Amino acid sequence: MKNLSILIIGGGIGGLTAAIALRRKGFAVDVIERDPDWSVYGVGIIQQGNVVRAMTELGLIDDYISAGFGFDRVQVFLPTGQCVADIPTPRLVDGYPGNVGIGRRALHKVLGDRTIGAGATVRLGVTATNLDDDGAGVSVTFSDGSAGRYDLVIGADGLYSQTRMMIFPDAPKPEFTGQSVWRYNFKRTSDVIALQAYEGQTGIGLVPLSEELMYMYITTPEPDNPRYALDDLAASMRGKLAGVPSPAIAALVDQITENEEVVYKPLEWIFLEGPWHKGRVALLGDAVHATTPHLGQGAGMAIEDALVLADELEAAETLDPALEAYRNRRFERCRYIVESSRAICFGQIGKGPLIDNATATREMFMKVAEPI
């Protein structure tokens, strides 16, 4: 297909990647984002070789790599600090690392700058209040009183997707796992040159983000899904690490002092077993397959979605077969990530068998190395 006009709802990683991929195919793209400040929380994200490969395909690789910290292995530790596995990770693009740690703000800038530079229109502080799909196109009413008409609407609006609720009101709702994640940035120590993941009921990891910066994540059982007051976040995170036996982790605990810098998030998941589109409205990323972060592939799956969707729209002669082909190419791969990540989560909190992190990590790298 050619000359499609496309609206993307959501200006996060998936939405921006989709905008870039679709503009590269020559489609007209508008992006709307509900946050008027287009803000991103300030900790980092781990991305593997499949994202490096995707960034190469998008023509973003050098900007992307320069904004982060590349590495070629994952180290697994016991809670005591003993390293029990040092896993080389495959390079999927010659001359570039197998993994990248990158700050979310840095990644957002790379994607946002390229989206605008590619000619997409971005409108902030705007939502879609109504989607009227008459079969020939979608008439959209926006929250600022304006309106538009598009050949295709893509809901890339995250875990609590309003687009999903509009087109599939009876779809399952996001489900809380019983576990949450805490994140905090630190000055990078010289030994953290790869992902360092600690086993245990409280999962801990250190991730390099740049020459100067790294972040820590910890996953903790939170069976009652409590809410922590902002004024107590730093003390609460320190409390979760009280008595940690690893000397390297213990040395960092007292540096957790700024409540505003703690990012706390209950872990939820969703996976749509049925269609991923209805008529001329399709879903992408967390709107259709949100995962827990245990394999570090949530953003990776959204980025791959964007590439596959753009490919299928370019190749097909009509819309419905393109959207069916997009789902069919993505379904099993995304299901694997959601289910495997959830299994690690449930093992950590006693809701399922304990999963060996080293084995799960090796299997994941083999899976995502496969073509999309």
Query: Which pLDDT tens digit goes with each residue over 188-217?
Result: 999 999 999 998 888 999 999 999 999 999
- For range 111-128, the mean pLDDT: 98
Give the residue from 355, 360, 331 showing the smallest Cα distance to 345: 355
DSSP H/E element including 301: helix 298-315
Burial of residue 160 (number of CB atoms within 10 Å: 0-12, 13-18, 19+): middle
pLDDT on residue 348: 93
Q: How far is residue 157 from each of residues 164, 173, 187, 305, measured CA to CA in Å?
A: 9, 14, 32, 14
Left, alpha or beta for 19 (phi > 0: left; psi -120 to 50: alpha)?
Answer: alpha
| Tokens matching residue 335 | 């299901």
d(CA 168, CA 165): 5
Mean pLDDT of 114-135: 98
Q: 63 pLDDT exceeds 90?
A: yes
Instruction: Say what the pLDDT of residue 102 is.
Output: 97
Q: What is the mean pLDDT of residues 165-182?
A: 97
Select from 320, 309, 321, 267 the least CA-distant residue to 284.
Answer: 309
Distance CA 21, CA 40 (A): 21
Distance CA 123, CA 121 (A): 7
Q: What is the pLDDT of residues 9-55, one digit of tens each?
A: 999 999 999 999 999 999 999 999 999 999 988 899 999 999 999 99
Give the separation between CA 285 and CA 160, rounded to whole angstroms.
Answer: 11
Distance (Å, rounded) from C-alpha 299 to C-alpha 297?
6
Mean pLDDT, range 70-84, rounded to an integer: 94
Task: Tell me the angle at which helices 298-315 and 319-348 cross, rounded to the nearest 10 degrees.
Answer: 170
CATH topology of domain 5-46+104-173+269-352: FAD/NAD(P)-binding domain (3.50.50)
Of residues 40, 46, 95, 36, the one with CA closest to residue 69: 46
Average pLDDT over residues 290-294: 96
Supply φ then ψ for residue 23, to 5 degrees. Answer: -65, -35
Cβ atoms 330, 310 nearer than 8 A = no
Give the pLDDT confidence of 226-268 residue by residue, as tens digits.
Answer: 999 999 999 999 999 999 999 999 999 999 999 999 999 999 9
The tens digit of pLDDT for each residue in 127-151 reads 999 999 999 999 999 999 999 999 9
Helices (H) and strands (E) in the chain, counts: 11, 19
Average pLDDT, the chain: 96
Q: Is the pLDDT of residue 357 over 90?
A: no
Which three-class secondary structure state does DSSP give residue 315?
A: helix
β-sheet with 68-71: strand ranges across: 44-48, 99-103, 68-71
The DSSP symbol for 355 reads: P
- 333-354 per-position pLDDT tens digit: 999 999 999 999 999 999 999 9
Q: What is the dihedral of CA 178, 338, 340, 107, to 10 degrees?
A: -100
Taking only the tens place, the pLDDT of each residue in 218-233 is 999 999 999 999 999 9
Q: pLDDT tens-digit profile of 309-340?
A: 999 999 999 999 999 999 999 999 999 999 99
Please say whether the beta carbons of 184 and 215 come within 8 A.
yes
Asked whether residue 358 carries a pLDDT value surpassing 90, the answer given is no
